[in-house]
Amino acid sequence: MVEQLYWGMESAGQKPSNVVFMGMGEPLHNLEAVARALRIFEHPWGAGLSPRRLTVSTAGVVPGIDALAKLRPAPNLAISLNATTDEVRDRIMPVNRHWNIARAAGRRSTLPAGPPPLHHFRNTSCLPASTDSDMDAARLPRLLRGIRAR
């Protein structure tokens, strides 16, 4: 992870504005390595990036979310919901069979009380004939009501 960032910085001739851990497997299945990379990315002798510019994206691995919440400084957190019901999410995201949509969305989590130290995002995708109905659009704000997230 660190080498990828340094190669990218060398190729671009500058630091990135943001770094997101995603797209090469579930980051929270490898939290120890992700936490080490975050420390290097943040350290002035490393990449010197602000924690506000670092995001870890997850499919909703709740124990990993809980462990990530304990890191200081905490990175941003992005949770991919990609559906508004457990029935649909079970079909498109196998992780839902372990941690349902309410738990993944943050209904039960150890995220600190009070204003979030950094941003917490919930993401969804519009998949034709699966998650793009008017009913999905109406369910999404109800699903996220009361959750401190963007």
- Does domain 2-144 fall under CATH 3.20.20.70? My reply is yes
Q: What is the pLDDT of residue 110?
A: 47
In what side-by-side order are the strands of the sheet with 19-21? 19-21, 54-58, 76-80, 120-123
Q: What is the pLDDT of residue 53?
A: 92
**Coil, strand or helix at 27:** helix
Top-confidence range, 32-36, 66-70, 103-107, 108-112: 32-36
pTM, full prediction: 0.85
pLDDT, average across residues 111-123: 59
Q: Where are the domains of the chain?
A: 2-144
